[in-house]
Amino acid sequence: MREPLDPEMFDPVCPSELMPIRVGDKWAGMIIQCLEGGPRRFSELRVPLRTVTPKVLTASLRSLERDGFVTRTVRPGPARHVEYELTPLGRTLLGPLSTARAWAEAHLPQLLDAREAADRPD
């Protein structure tokens, strides 16, 4: 039995749109992070990614698969299910994404201040 994903893996106060560096789309970096520990089912990914719609999550997974970062495997049997897993190429993104995440955490106040200033009416 594998460790379940932490439902609080992504801080709701720090939404994904604040991430200045993205791979593929808004959700791709978080999906890659969720798959770091091994294969996951769609329903498992939905736990920490609860704010993404199933349609958008499916589209993001397909995009990651198309780019060679994720594989989709159908497990046969009476309880047939699908699992998603990082490819070796996808695993190469873990280091850069970790660095980008650490940078964003260290500079979050400045990033928020800059965006707030830019959105202020003159």
Is residue 45, in this structure, part of any structural domain at all?
yes
Rounded (5°) CA angle 63-9-45: 40
> Is position 1 within any domain?
no
CB neighbour list of residue 17: distance below 8 Å, 6 or more residues apart: 26
Q: Is residue 4 part of a domain?
A: no
What is the number of domains present in the chain? 1
The pLDDT, as a whole number, for residue 23 is 65
For the segment 64-112, what is each residue's pLDDT rounded down to a tens digit? 999 899 999 998 888 889 999 999 999 999 999 999 889 888 998 998 8
Give the pair of three-digit tokens for residue 102: 């650490």
Report if residue 3 sits inside a domain: no
Q: What's the pTM?
A: 0.76
93: domain CATH number?
1.10.10.10
Residue 52 CB-half CA count within 13 A: 26
